[in-house]
Amino acid sequence: MKPQQEPKIKKGDRTRQRILETASALMAESGPDAVSMREISAKLKITKPVLYYYFKNKDELIKASFVEGTKHFDELLAEIQDPALTLEQKVERVFANHLEFIRRYPDMPKCALKIMTSPSASVLSGMARELKQRNRAAMRAMMEASAGKDRLSKAGIEGILHMISAVIGYFMIEARENGVASLDKGLPGRLSKLLCAGARSLKALAAGLALSALLAAGAAAAPLDLTVDAAVGAALRNNATVLNAESARAIYKEKVNEYWGTVYPQLSASAQWTNYLSRPAAALLGPKTDNVYAGSLDLNQVLWSGGKVATAIRMARIYSEASDEQYKAARAGITKGVRQLYYSVLLARALAEIQQEALDLARQHLGTIEAQYKQGVASDLAVLRQQVEVSNTEPALTKARNLYEVGLTELKNLLGLDPEAEVSLSGGLDCAPAIPADAAGLYKKALAARPEYKNQKQQLELAEKMIKIERAAHLPYLGAYASRQYYGATDDSFPASGEYTWSTVAGLRLSVPLFAGGSVSAKVAQAKYQADISRNNLAELERRIKIDVKKAWLGGREAAERLASQATSVAQARKALAATETRFKNGLSSQLDLNDATLALNRSQTLYTQARHDVCSAEAELNWAVGD
In this prediction, residues 251-269 reach a mean pLDDT of 80
Q: Of the ranges 307-316, 338-347, 609-618, which one carries the lowest mean pLDDT score?
A: 307-316
Q: Of the ranges 34-38, 340-344, 576-580, which one carries the lowest mean pLDDT score?
A: 34-38
Angle of the 451-471 helix axis to the 308-374 helix axis, nearest 10: 160
Q: Does residue 35 surpass a pLDDT of 60?
A: yes
Band (pLDDT 50/70/90 cuts) for residue 483 is very high
Task: Report pLDDT digits (tens) over 367-387.
Answer: 888 888 888 888 888 888 888
Band (pLDDT 50/70/90 cuts) for residue 213 is very low
Q: Of the ranges 125-129, 394-398, 531-535, 546-550, which one carries the lowest mean pLDDT score?
A: 125-129
Count of alpha carbons within 13 Å of 24, Cβ hemisphere only?
Answer: 20
**Distance in angstroms (rounded) separating the CA atoms of residues 86 and 522:** 92
Q: Does residue 6 surpass a pLDDT of 50?
A: no
**Distance in angstroms (rounded) separating the CA atoms of residues 341 and 347:** 10
What is the secondary structure of 191-250 as a DSSP string? Answer: HHHHHHHHHH-HHHHHHHHHHHHHHHHHH-PPPEEE-HHHHHHHHHHH-HHHHHHHHHHH
**Distance in angstroms (rounded) separating the CA atoms of residues 166 and 169:** 5
- The per-residue pLDDT for 216 is 43
Task: Report pLDDT digits (tens) over 570-607.
Answer: 888 888 888 888 888 888 888 888 888 888 888 998 89
Q: In terms of residue numbers, what domain contains 69?
A: 11-229
**Distance in angstroms (rounded) separating the CA atoms of residues 198 and 213:** 14
Q: Does residue 3 surpass a pLDDT of 50?
A: no
Beta-ladder partners of 344: none
In this prediction, residues 192-216 reach a mean pLDDT of 51
Q: Give the rounded percent of residues in the chain with a pLDDT score beyond 70.
A: 83
Q: Is residue 32 part of a domain?
A: yes
- The per-residue pLDDT for 127 is 64
- The per-residue pLDDT for 253 is 77
420 DSSP 8-state letter: T
Domain with residue 164: its CATH number is 1.10.357.10
- The per-residue pLDDT for 270 is 95
Q: Does residue 120 surpass a pLDDT of 60?
A: no
Q: Judge whether 274 and 292 are in contact, CB under 8 Å.
A: yes
What are the start-end ranges of the H helices in 420-518?
A: 440-449, 451-471
Query: pTM here?
Result: 0.57
Q: Higher-confidence residue: 171 or 327?
A: 327
**Distance in angstroms (rounded) separating the CA atoms of residues 96 and 497:** 96
- 10 Å Cβ neighbour count for 202? 13
In this prediction, residues 416-427 reach a mean pLDDT of 79
Q: Higher-confidence residue: 360 or 34?
A: 360
Q: Higher-confidence residue: 97 or 600?
A: 600
- The per-residue pLDDT for 484 is 94
Burial class (CB in 10 A: 0-12, 13-18, 19+), 510: exposed
Angle of the 591-625 helix axis to the 380-414 helix axis, nearest 10: 10
**Distance in angstroms (rounded) separating the CA atoms of residues 562 and 558:** 6
- Tell which phi-psi region holds residue 70, choosing left (phi > 0), alpha (psi between -120 and 50) or beta: alpha
In this prediction, residues 70-99 reach a mean pLDDT of 75
Q: Which residues of 212-233 are buried (b: 16+ CB within 10 A; e: fewer)?
A: beebbeebbeebbebebebbbe
Q: Higher-confidence residue: 577 or 202?
A: 577
- 10 Å Cβ neighbour count for 519? 11
Q: Is residue 83 part of a domain?
A: yes
Q: Is residue 132 part of a domain?
A: yes
What is the secondary structure of 462-473 as a DSSP string? Answer: HHHHHHHHHHGG
Task: Report pLDDT digits (tens) over 135-190.
Answer: 777 777 777 776 666 666 666 677 677 777 777 777 777 776 667 677 777 777 77
Q: Is residue 91 part of a domain?
A: yes
**Distance in angstroms (rounded) separating the CA atoms of residues 137 and 158:** 11
Give every CB contact of residue 341 below 8 A, 6+ residues apart in sequence.
407, 410, 411, 414
Give every CB contact of residue 505 below 8 A, 6+ residues apart in sequence.
482, 483, 485
- The per-residue pLDDT for 128 is 65
Strands 266-275 and 291-304, bridge-based pairing:
antiparallel
- The per-residue pLDDT for 65 is 73
Q: Does residue 220 surpass a pLDDT of 50?
A: no
CA distances, 191 to each of 72, 149, 168, 300, 345 (Å)? 21, 21, 11, 75, 42
**Distance in angstroms (rounded) separating the CA atoms of residues 619 and 429:** 11
Number of domains in the chain: 1
The number of helices, as runs of H, and strands, as runs of E, in the chain is: 22, 6
Name the average pLDDT for the chain. Answer: 79
Q: Judge whether 562 and 575 are in contact, CB under 8 Å.
A: no
Considering 147-151, 251-255, 267-271, 618-622, the range whose residues carry the highest mean pLDDT is: 267-271
- The per-residue pLDDT for 168 is 75
CA distances, 591 to each of 47, 411, 530, 571, 598 (Å)? 21, 42, 73, 22, 11
**Distance in angstroms (rounded) separating the CA atoms of residues 313 and 528:** 20
**Distance in angstroms (rounded) separating the CA atoms of residues 628 and 620:** 9
- The per-residue pLDDT for 151 is 61
Q: Of the ranges 11-25, 262-276, 399-413, 492-506, which one carries the lowest mean pLDDT score?
A: 11-25
Single-letter residue type at 73:
F
Band (pLDDT 50/70/90 cuts) for residue 199 is low
- The per-residue pLDDT for 30 is 61
- The per-residue pLDDT for 31 is 61
Band (pLDDT 50/70/90 cuts) for residue 482 is very high
Q: Is residue 186 part of a domain?
A: yes
In this prediction, residues 296-304 reach a mean pLDDT of 89
- The per-residue pLDDT for 34 is 64
Q: Is residue 73 part of a domain?
A: yes
Band (pLDDT 50/70/90 cuts) for residue 296 is very high
Considering 13-17, 50-54, 268-272, 590-594, the range whose residues carry the highest mean pLDDT is: 268-272
Phi first, then psi: what are they for 303, rounded to 5°? Answer: -100, -40
Angle of the 308-374 helix axis to the 380-414 helix axis, nearest 10: 160
Q: Is residue 419 part of a domain?
A: no
Beta-ladder partners of 479: 302, 509
Strands 291-304 and 477-490, bridge-based pairing:
antiparallel
Q: Of the ranges 61-70, 246-255, 313-322, 593-602, which one carries the lowest mean pLDDT score?
A: 61-70
- The per-residue pLDDT for 202 is 43
Q: Is residue 117 part of a domain?
A: yes
**Distance in angstroms (rounded) separating the CA atoms of residues 393 and 391:** 5
